[in-house]
Structure 1
Amino acid sequence: MLAFVVLVFLVIGLIHFYLYKRLLRDPLRPGRTRRVGAVVAAGLGLLLPVTLAGTRTGHLAWLAWPGYLWLALMFYLLVVLIPLEIPRAAVLLFWKLTSRTKEVARNQTDGSHSVTQSDTRGEAAIEAGSAESHGDVATAEGSAGIAPETANDGDGVGRRLVLARGMAIFAGLTAAGITGYGMKTALGGPQLDRVSIPIAKLPRSMDGTRLAVVSDIHLGPLTGTRHAGRIVDLINSVQADVVCVVGDLVDGSVAELGRFAAPLADIESRYGAFFVTGNHEYYSGYEPWLEEVARLGVRPLRNERAEINGLDLAGVNDLGGAQHGDAPDFAKALGDRDTSRPVVLMAHQPAAASQAAPFGVDLQVSGHTHGGQMAPFNLLVKLEQPVVSGYGEVDGVPVYVTNGAGFWGPPVRVGAPPQVTVVELRTA
């Protein structure tokens, strides 16, 4: 654990030193502004671990907004700056090669002229006068506050300064613009997506059954009291037959967030609303939340299934529950059912489909990935989960992954808008 903490601080420190160098040290001359920037960079470096630790334990909630917004902005600064390192290096190399070529040409020109001894003496006198003249110019430049090596921005240090400032301004404006757009998307409420999925064993009487699938609501210190209410309003607008809440409902205890979850009691559906745990329920006290969710009229499916006319709806605990003595049990949920009936499985993580495959699951609905939440982070999510967003297959099991209706950490979504999905089941 100590080694992990040290590694985290080391990585955060290196990231902030890199940002300080590219955004402050390189584009600014030595002085007070650069020193203040170094202090700010160090403070932002400390802000991140304090925010992550404080919000996880329920303390220092007031740090959530500045801490998580800086996390998003830091991420996009890196996304922009790191690719710019290649053209930056190319420009610097080009300038270096050009300078060497000019120097070689100048030396060759100087060496090609021969002069007589008298001419040399005359030239020496001229050069002495020229040196005196140049000294006067240098003195004038010094009195004007211009460093001789940077007096011409087209050469040496001056050119590097222009390049560094251009790179810093471009990265800062681009990262800020992306982060602002992502905030507007994340805080603007979920969109409604519809998808039709055929199920071979679905009886004709159940053709067109609508499942309202919602995941990753993430009630927490940044969501406020309206977050769950507008999600419930959107769910009710589709007149769903079944509502599936597929985990990660909360980021905090019932005592802290119970009032935020109250709108769940207003969910309307033909056959009821159902819930399975996500990994974040285990960080927030899953047992009190199971009781609270049931009290609000949403039935937890705890490695069990419900029979809905000609359809089985099963639910398993999240894979992360194993570390808390509450592991998923696929055999218990699926093992003794009538296999002539179609079954839809609620499982928080798409990866659960690998363990569900031997039981002949007809469709799994999941969340967990947030669709990547902040592109290009979705590329990293692909390393952990077999399906990041939308429809896919895992070991022969059809899996639909909804982006989630909320956000975790930064209140920012880029390339993966929040959503509630209506899955319409069709006979094949």
Structure 2
Amino acid sequence: MTDTSNTRPADSDAPAPRPSGLHRVMRYLPLVAPVLLWTVPCWVLLHSGQHWPLPVALGGTALFVLGLVVMPLAMARGHGRRQQDAAAIVGDTLLGSSWVLFTWSLLLGVPLWLVLTVAGVGEGQDRARTVTWAVLGTTAVLLAWGYAEARRVPRVRRLDVLLPRLGAGLDGTRVALITDTHYGPLDRARWSERVCETVNTLEADLVCHTGDIADGTAERRRAQAAPLGTVRATHARVYVTGNHEYYSEAQGWVDLMDELGWEPLRNRHLLLERGGDTLVVAGVDDVTAESSGLAGHRAHLDGALEGADPELPVLLLAHQPKFIDRAAAGGVDLQLSGHTHGGQIWPFHQLVRLDQPALAGLTRHGPRTLLYTSRGTGFWGPPFRVFAPSEITLLVLRSPHASATV
């Protein structure tokens, strides 16, 4: 493995992008979202014709009001300046629970009430209570299942990726991808060990981590991240920063990954040589790096590829799928990304699509460039994954020239 292009260019490839549709929506979410998440289910379940006994109606309403007050306060304490893990767990859990309850109050509760009304099933109060129990039952099942999905060791997703410029000697190169581990308030040190054990069973030539290692500083989350030092690869273990590193002292994470034996590809590349052929393995800082104000951190593709033979195939690590436009313009063959979590809790994926060109899986962008977007290995915030399972990915690179040499 040859290490080249160690420079850290001062200029980025392009001016900072204009705020996306998602970012414009997100400006108002902290004010509007908590109210909607708690008042809509409260109305659907307690005040839309049920006529519950007064103690039930008052008690239920009080619980919704309590959630509306506690959730933002706990999240502010947990993810704000104080960084209180216990508060973060409470706030994140309430956020995920209220989102699922809100979603199914609208998507199940309202249509079910209309269907029962049109069908003439039951009296008004009976219909309303049927809706309430259906929504609560569905929410409980999805939250229990979603919690188990979030805490489990991800399944391995395997796929072959044909790269037309890949040399025959590189055919069969095994690339393991983990991303968005998000070590955080819930201690997942044992989970981290089991993930790394699973990665080691894949016997990969190259292991990649495409960022968002944790929520919190490297010093604070060191115990959870430490098992990454046990990961094995035939050629190299490579890492790029995600946006969450820039919320928590990104340079500390770069230094820790270097200490654990990983190669932080900060706008530079390595050469993977196998069977007489060569693959350029490049990486860039996250697209949010420049706005973080951290000196020397920015996404710079030209710097990452400086000195590389333009005739060689390029595998690029970039945390966010949205970098694919620059990758395609730069002639990259395959970009590996994470960030989206596949939506994490359905149907949040619809909001993710406002910000990113791909949600999950392999997609083509332009005549040459492929993008693989992982649904992520861990979870952010709410400890739930609903219809968006986590993954450890094994990509087997294929060459169209391999058969000619057999």
Q: 1:353·1:395 contact (CA, 8 Å) conserved in 2? A: no
Of 27, 38, 48, the residue aligned with 2:61 is: 38
**1:354 counterpart letter in structure 2:** D
Q: Is the aligned partner of 1:409 residue 2:381?
A: yes
Q: Which has the larger radius of gyration?
A: 1
Cα RMSD of the aligned pairs, angstroms, is 2.2
Q: Is the aligned partner of 1:419 residue 2:385?
A: no
Of 82, 86, 89, the residue aligned with 1:65 is: 89
Rounded Cα–Cα distance in structure 2 between residues aligned with 1:9 and 1:160: 34
Question: Once the 2 structures are TM-superposed, how far is the Cα of residue 302 of structure 1 from its aligned partner?
Answer: 0.5
2:77 maps to which residue? Answer: 54
Q: Is the aligned partner of 1:187 residue 2:151?
A: yes
Of 309, 314, 323, the residue aligned with 1:343 is: 314
Q: Deviations over 1:350-372 (max 9, x none)?
A: 11010111211011111111112
Question: Aligned to 1:320, what secondary structure does the other structure show?
Answer: coil
2:232 maps to which residue? Answer: 268
User: Where do residues 13-412 of structure 1 align in structure 2 (5 Å cutoff)?
Assistant: 13-26=35-48, 27-29=50-52, 31-57=54-80, 59-83=83-107, 84-86=109-111, 88-89=113-114, 159-309=123-273, 310-325=278-293, 326-396=297-367, 397-412=369-384
Sequence identity of aligned pairs in percent? 32
Rounded Cα–Cα distance in structure 2 between residues aligned with 1:89 and 1:194: 44
Of residues 200-209 and 289-298 in structure 1, the stretch that sits farther from structure 2 once superposed is 200-209
Rounded Cα–Cα distance in structure 2 between residues aligned with 1:371 and 1:53: 25
Question: Once the 2 structures are TM-superposed, how far is the Cα of residue 336 of structure 1 from its aligned partner?
Answer: 4.1
Rounded Cα–Cα distance in structure 2 between residues aligned with 1:80 and 1:346: 37
The TM-score normalised by the length of structure 2 is: 0.84
Q: 1:402·1:421 contact (CA, 8 Å) conserved in 2? A: yes
Rounded Cα–Cα distance in structure 2 between residues aligned with 1:47 and 1:30: 26
**2:62 counterpart letter in structure 1:** V
Q: 1:64·1:222 contact (CA, 8 Å) conserved in 2? A: no
Q: Deviations over 1:385-416 (max 9, x none)?
A: 11111100123420011111100111111222
Question: Once the 2 structures are TM-superposed, how far is the Cα of residue 65 of structure 1 from its aligned partner?
Answer: 3.4
Rounded Cα–Cα distance in structure 2 between residues aligned with 1:398 and 1:196: 12
Rounded Cα–Cα distance in structure 2 between residues aligned with 1:339 and 1:220: 40
Of residues 86-95 and 276-285 in structure 1, the stretch that sits farther from structure 2 once superposed is 86-95
Q: Deviations over 1:260-287 (max 9, x none)?
A: 1111111111112110000111111101
**1:282 counterpart letter in structure 2:** Y
Cα 1:330/1:167, change in 2 over 3 Å: same
Cα 1:94/1:177, change in 2 over 3 Å: closer
2:403 maps to which residue? Answer: none
Question: Aligned to 2:339, what secondary structure does the other structure show?
Answer: coil
Q: 1:228·1:261 contact (CA, 8 Å) conserved in 2? A: yes
**In the comparison of the two structures, how many residue pairs are matched?**
365
**2:288 counterpart letter in structure 1:** G
Cα 1:247/1:76, change in 2 over 3 Å: same
Q: 2:165·2:313 contact (CA, 8 Å) conserved in 1? A: yes
Cα 1:371/1:6, change in 2 over 3 Å: closer
Rounded Cα–Cα distance in structure 2 between residues aligned with 1:15 and 1:204: 54
Q: 1:232·1:263 contact (CA, 8 Å) conserved in 2? A: yes
2:34 maps to which residue? Answer: 12
**1:187 counterpart letter in structure 2:** R
Where structure 2 has 5 or more consecutive residues not aligned to the other structure, the ranges are 1-25, 401-406
1:130 maps to which residue? Answer: none
Q: 1:220·1:251 contact (CA, 8 Å) conserved in 2? A: yes
2:13 maps to which residue? Answer: none
Rounded Cα–Cα distance in structure 1 between residues aligned with 2:312 and 2:117: 68
Where structure 1 has 5 or more consecutive residues not aligned to the other structure, the ranges are 96-152
Larger helix share, 1 or 2 = 1
Question: Once the 2 structures are TM-superposed, how far is the Cα of residue 86 of structure 1 from its aligned partner?
Answer: 4.2
Question: Once the 2 structures are TM-superposed, how far is the Cα of residue 223 of structure 1 from its aligned partner?
Answer: 4.1
Rounded Cα–Cα distance in structure 2 between residues aligned with 1:69 and 1:299: 34
Question: Once the 2 structures are TM-superposed, how far is the Cα of residue 296 of structure 1 from its aligned partner?
Answer: 0.8
Question: Aligned to 2:355, what secondary structure does the other structure show?
Answer: coil
Rounded Cα–Cα distance in structure 2 between residues aligned with 1:364 and 1:8: 33
Q: Deviations over 1:91-123 (max 9, x none)?
A: 66898xxxxxxxxxxxxxxxxxxxxxxxxxxxx
